[in-house]
Chain A
Amino acid sequence: DAKTTQPTSMDCAEGRAANLPCNHSTISGNEYVYWYRQIHSQGPQYIIHGLKNNETNEMASLIITEDRKSSTLILPHATLRDTAVYYCIVRGYGSGNTGKLIFGQGTTLQVKP
Chain B
Amino acid sequence: KAGVTQTPRYLIKTRGQQVTLSCSPISGHRSVSWYQQTPGQGLQFLFEYFSETQRNKGNFPGRFSGRQFSNSRSEMNVSTLELGDSALYLCASSLQGSNEKLFFGSGTQLSVL
Contacts and interface: CB of A to CB of B under 8 A. Distances in A.
Contacts of A41: 106
Contacts of A46: 101-103
Contacts of B101: 34, 46, 49
> Interface SS of chain A: helix, strand, loop or mixed?
loop
B90 A43 contact: yes
A104 B90 CA distance: 16
B70 interface: no
A99 B97 contact: yes
Interface residues of B, number: 28
Interface string A74-113: 0000000000000100011101111111111100000000
A54 to B, nearest CB: 18
A62 to B, nearest CB: 13
User: Which of the four size classes fits the interface of chain A?
Assistant: 20 to 34
A44 interface: yes
B73 to A, nearest CB: 15
Interface centre among B102, B103, B106 (most CB of A within 10 A): B102
Interface of B: 4, 31-33, 35, 42-45, 48-50, 55-56, 58, 90, 92, 94, 97-99, 101-107
Given A43-B107, A99-B31, 13 more contacts: A43-B92, A43-B104, A46-B101, A49-B101, A95-B55, A96-B56, A98-B31, A99-B33, A99-B48, A99-B94, A99-B97, A100-B33, A103-B44
